[in-house]
Structure 1
Amino acid sequence: MKNILYLFAAFLFFGTIVWSCQEEVPELGTLYVPTNLGVSVDIQSDGSGLVNFQASATDALNYHFYFGNSPSEDPFVSSDGKASNFYKKTGTNDYLVKIVAFGAGGVSSSITEEITVFVDFEVPSEIIKALTNNGSKEWYWKQDVSGHLGVGPQFNDAGEVVSDPTYYAAAPNEKEGLCLYEDVLTFTDNGDGTFGYTLENQGDTFFHTDEIQDAVGEPSPGYDACYAYDTTGNKDVLFSPTDSGVNPSTGINMEFTNGGFMSYYLNSSSYEIMYITDTEMKVRVIQKRNGLAWYHIFTSEKTASPDPEFTDLVWQDEFDTDGAPADANWNYDIGTGSNGWGNFEEQYYTDRPENVIVADGVLKITARKENFSGKGYTSARLKTQDKFDFTYGRVDVKAKVAGGGGTWPAIWMLGSSITTVGWPKCGEMDIMEYVGNKPGYVQSAIHTPSSSGATVNVKSTTIENETTEFHVYSVIWSEGQISFLIDDQRFYTYKPAEQNDSTWPFDAPQFLILNVAMGGNLGGAIDPNFTESTMEIDYVRVYQ
């Protein structure tokens, strides 16, 4: 019987039974269950959140402390029963602390202790505003700058704190095509002194190679990679002061509950905010496994991916032949349209040479003050509908815009499906819109079912000599992204996080439109001294 008992014990603790021809099996060491487990708690009264613990038990080899910060926290292991923890949630809060004492053979006993901790720390209001906009605010990787992801040592050989990613700094857009740049990080001010955080990663997370095995149970391929990983659910954000010595630094640390992390998985939930503005944030995180310092740069303005290069010239009008515009290229909208073309505009569109003509190597569209068919102004609107349309490519239009109070010149595109599905389902791209009442600015805009009329998908930029000098207005339209440029400088990109029929009707052909409107919703009040103004176009070129 004695032999059987020893064999059974060996099976339990070693997972195998070693049969022997001898009658006796060597006895195992004595297994001790720790007894008399107790803990003393010293809660600092200075509002720092520091709590010191001293656990003791008979026959204990080590102690595991669970401080009650979150249900999934890793234990702090102590061999002498001493432990300290900074609690970071501001105000007065209760925590349930669990201490587990381990004895020989892994047997254990445990106790729990409820503590109340007061933390007197308030995050500067300017940091909260920058992070959350005093509500909810989305952040994205600032992928187009060097070092948006980087790593280096915490300290140099002299023991000084290192503030830069000296080992590795990602080049602009280096991780394009991986799952990393698709992540959306949302910070929320709950309005009651608490703060929330969510990470939307489309189901995939970019992992550090050394963390893959433990996190997803897959052998590491030897390099960083994307794996399916659930990050749904709200996390709490706890702020605390930090004096790491890194420079620059706001002196503020963020810690996410329930295993939260900022997009790139390093098995750490604690991030120091190095700097933050309304549009940019840099954080530093220490990877627990190796003690390396990682750096992330985020932006609140979603960074566009690089635009593809379209170099094959597939359609053009150089306006080299004087007279009427080429009939093979252009049609006209005639009249006033429904409700002033839907925008309460004041002009009557014609195809008369007084309003549209090619002369001196340029196309001239002239808005005139004159009584014509019941309207007080005339102008022209040309379009390539039924003569040329395309899907994806680059459009360059070299133009000098019409000016004067009330003018509204535009270079734009409409989906060819407008005759069947209507507007805005067909989609609209405004390559350039100018308002004579607001000189020195031009804008580009997108109209879709999700944002039509007074669209939110619009951006203006400054410009000089727009009515006296030619500028090149461009759009680069690719699968999933539309970018607008002036003189080859991109200033606005439309790239919705979710692309569907409501946000992205841009996978079908579009045609070109050139016009000068008067007044209306955007053009505004017309200068009573206005007589006429002309938009001149040197060329229109389409590349694919």
Structure 2
Amino acid sequence: MAVAASGSFYQDFDLTWGDHRAKIFNGGQLLSLSLDKLSSQGPTHDEIDFEFLGNLSGDPYILHTNVFTQGKGNREQQFYLWFDPTRNFHTYSIIWSQQHIIFLVDNIPIRVFKNGESIGVPFPKSQPMRIYSSLWNADDWATRGGLVKTDWTKAPFTAYYRNFKADACSWSSGTSSCGSRSSSSFSDPAWHTNSLDAPSRRRLRWVQKYFMIYNYCADLKRFPQGFPPECERSRF
């Protein structure tokens, strides 16, 4: 799976819940979602997550990432961002290839999840994927472990999205065929090789050194019998 190419929210998204809580503006280029209740789905799904966790007023927002395969996740990494995500639009990207999944913020890699099938780690590749965007209530765990509850007097909570871009490559017998719309830095072959290039590794180290606040691969209390096998591999 690769990326790139402008799309329209009218064209590429279905509004499947929430009555009038989802709205599309500006000729399909801007989407707003408002939350006052929650929705959920699925038992054995694959999933690649960007989630913004709620906060106390004045505290930094937490960007939560996770990778599910066949309904099993537990691969969380969390980050403070180096900016206030509520002040301006920023670009949040996922590159999903046969080699790895890369999470990027403003084209800066913050996390790499490598294909670890050779060491017995399932990798999401056997099911078609769709993009889901939603707001939901996770105050039983998300904010300070569930200590801070949602203040519904401040509802509705609204998220805005714009400049959606996506594209895909189909793989057959080790070769890929990409859509003619593929463009931008994401179609650079460097993103789809087995390891990041030197500048990308430096940016990843910077983010993980100064902004990562949780890594499941460093949580000894959670894995007293030993870390998952992918934790023993290089981050790059």
Report SS of the residue matched to 2:54: coil
Report SS of the residue matched to 2:154: coil
Which residue in the other structure is 1:531 paired with?
A: 155
Q: In structure 1, what is the Cα distance between the partners aligned to 2:70 and 2:163?
A: 31
Give yes or no for contact 1:364–1:536 (8 Å, CA) kept in 2.
Answer: yes
Q: In structure 2, what is the Cα distance between the partners aligned to 1:311 and 1:450?
A: 24
- Is 1:491 matched with 2:110? yes
1:316 alignment partner AA:
G
Give yes or no for contact 1:450–1:502 (8 Å, CA) kept in 2.
Answer: no
- Is 1:506 matched with 2:197? no
Aligned positions of 1:94-493 closer than 5 A: 310=2, 313=5, 316-317=7-8, 319=9, 326=10, 328-334=11-17, 350-352=18-20, 355-360=21-26, 361-367=29-35, 377-378=36-37, 423-424=43-44, 426-430=45-49, 432-437=50-55, 439-449=60-70, 451-452=72-73, 455=74, 457-463=75-81, 464-493=83-112
Q: Closer, same or farther in 2 for the Cα pair 1:493/1:312, shift >3 Å?
A: closer
2:128 alignment partner AA:
P
Q: In structure 2, what is the Cα distance between the partners aligned to 1:485 and 1:445?
A: 13
More helix by share: 2
Q: Closer, same or farther in 2 for the Cα pair 1:312/1:519, shift >3 Å?
A: closer
Q: In structure 2, what is the Cα distance between the partners aligned to 1:423 and 1:482?
A: 22
**Cα displacement string for residues 456-502 of structure 1 (whole angstroms, at most 9, x for unaligned residues):** x2212221211121110000000031110000000111114335886
Which residue in the other structure is 1:256 paired with?
A: none
How far apart are residue 428 of structure 1 and its match? Answer: 0.8
Structure 1: runs of 5 or more not aligned? 1-307, 320-325, 335-349, 368-376, 382-417
How far apart are residue 351 of structure 1 and its match? Answer: 2.7
Q: In structure 1, what is the Cα distance between the partners aligned to 2:80 and 2:90?
A: 12
1:439 alignment partner AA:
P
More strand by share: 1
Q: Closer, same or farther in 2 for the Cα pair 1:497/1:330, shift >3 Å?
A: closer
**Cα displacement string for residues 3-41 of structure 1 (whole angstroms, at most 9, x for unaligned residues):** xxxxxxxxxxxxxxxxxxxxxxxxxxxxxxxxxxxxxxx
Aligned positions of 1:58-73 closer than 5 A: none
Q: In structure 1, what is the Cα distance between the partners aligned to 2:89 and 2:4?
A: 23
**Cα displacement string for residues 237-270 of structure 1 (whole angstroms, at most 9, x for unaligned residues):** xxxxxxxxxxxxxxxxxxxxxxxxxxxxxxxxxx
Q: In structure 1, what is the Cα distance between the partners aligned to 2:102 and 2:138?
A: 27
Q: Mean Cα displacement is larger for which, 433-442 or 497-506?
A: 497-506
- Structure exhibiting the larger radius of gyration computed from Cα positions: 1
Give yes or no for contact 1:473–1:486 (8 Å, CA) kept in 2.
Answer: yes
Q: In structure 2, what is the Cα distance between the partners aligned to 1:362 and 1:311?
A: 19
Q: In structure 2, what is the Cα distance between the partners aligned to 1:449 and 1:311?
A: 23
- Identity score, percent: 19
Give yes or no for contact 1:356–1:380 (8 Å, CA) kept in 2.
Answer: no
TM-score (norm 2): 0.56
Tell me how many residue pairs correspond in the alignment.
157
How far apart are residue 532 of structure 1 and its match? Answer: 2.1
How far apart are residue 540 of structure 1 and its match? Answer: 1.5
Q: Closer, same or farther in 2 for the Cα pair 1:522/1:542, shift >3 Å?
A: farther
TM-score (norm 1): 0.26
Q: In structure 2, what is the Cα distance between the partners aligned to 1:472 and 1:465?
A: 13
Structure 2: runs of 5 or more not aligned? 169-236
2:160 alignment partner AA:
E
Report SS of the residue matched to 1:541: coil
Q: Closer, same or farther in 2 for the Cα pair 1:493/1:440, shift >3 Å?
A: same
Give yes or no for contact 1:365–1:379 (8 Å, CA) kept in 2.
Answer: no
Q: Closer, same or farther in 2 for the Cα pair 1:498/1:433, shift >3 Å?
A: same
Q: In structure 2, what is the Cα distance between the partners aligned to 1:499 and 1:450?
A: 20
**Cα displacement string for residues 497-518 of structure 1 (whole angstroms, at most 9, x for unaligned residues):** 3358861132442001011112
Q: In structure 2, what is the Cα distance between the partners aligned to 1:380 and 1:365?
A: 13
Q: Closer, same or farther in 2 for the Cα pair 1:483/1:435, shift >3 Å?
A: same
